[in-house]
Chains A and B, each alone.
Chain A
């Protein structure tokens, strides 16, 4: 079993839809949770960064962390065709392994105009 599980999709939604992306994890030592966006033929770029449990909002994007359930989510409101990309969740502990990031396999999102 992988430490981080993510539904690979692909996920196709119409423009303006609310998108929900999710990851589950098994390592209770994870404290930092991230969402990266990766456009085709590009490197991942950091989208959201959350420490421990709770919600964080940035424009149309909201990240949620539920450590009791070992479950994280990314919500995209009013989705746009420019949001079409692969979304990777990533997480790491505080002290173990020097901050090594563990990634999910990514969810491919397509927003249709």
Chain B
């Protein structure tokens, strides 16, 4: 069974530039999460989707971050414009259901903002 797929794996951009990350969850998983992991820290939730609905986006900086999950499968996370403090690893995870099931993580996208 294929795991969570993320691309790109690495991205280096200048500040104020836009950037987008893509995630393909495990087949059949209804719940999709985006986390941000700063260096030396644990992941922190940015947004959670149940199918195509964003049900928890309280930690998403909405002035510059946006996300979508079209057709309840793949998801894209966008930052526009990027700031130096956005440098981090952006992790996507998925689970069959939100409340009780194990979350499976992708390898992450390592973003460096110069």
Contacts and interface: CB of A to CB of B under 8 A. Distances in A.
B105 A103 contact: no
Interface in B37-52: 40-45, 48, 50
Interface in A54-98: 88, 90, 94-95, 97-98
Contacts, number: 57
Given A43-B4, A94-B99, A104 B56 contact: no
Contacts of B104: 46
A42 B95 CA distance: 18
Given A100-B45, A103-B42, 15 more contacts: A32-B100, A43-B91, A43-B93, A44-B91, A46-B103, A46-B104, A88-B43, A95-B99, A98-B48, A98-B56, A98-B98, A100-B48, A101-B103, A106-B41, A106-B42
